[in-house]
């Protein structure tokens, strides 16, 4: 069973938020996913990322399960 994701309130300087939003857009992530990506990278660099931390979803839109791969079409 997957654990529930934690919610936090984060107050940012508007210029920092705008910069994060632009960066996230460049990498096809939401602003929230970009913040989590950066936090995980920082935790990993510091040797503090918990071993049991779940994996992040890859950037970009999730694939629709109901659409077949191009390789599966006749």
Cα–Cα dist 37/59, whole Å: 10
Burial of 56 per CB tally in 10 Å (0-12, 13-18, 19+): exposed
Cα–Cα dist 27/35, whole Å: 12
pLDDT digits (tens, 9 = 90+) for 15-64: 999 999 999 999 999 999 999 999 999 999 999 999 888 777 776 677 77
Look up the pTM and report it. 0.69
Which pLDDT belongs to residue 66? 47
pLDDT for residue 9 is more than 70: yes
């Amino acid at each position: 069973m997957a654990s529930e994701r934690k919610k936090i309130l984060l107050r940012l300087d508007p210029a920092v938020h705008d910069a994060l939003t632009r960066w996230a857009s460049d990498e096809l992530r939401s602003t929230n996913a970009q913040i989590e990506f950066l936090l995980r990278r920082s935790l990993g660099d510091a040797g503090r990322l918990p071993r049991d931390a779940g994996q992040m979803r890859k950037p970009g839109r999730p694939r629709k399960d109901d659409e077949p791969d191009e390789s599966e079409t006749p």
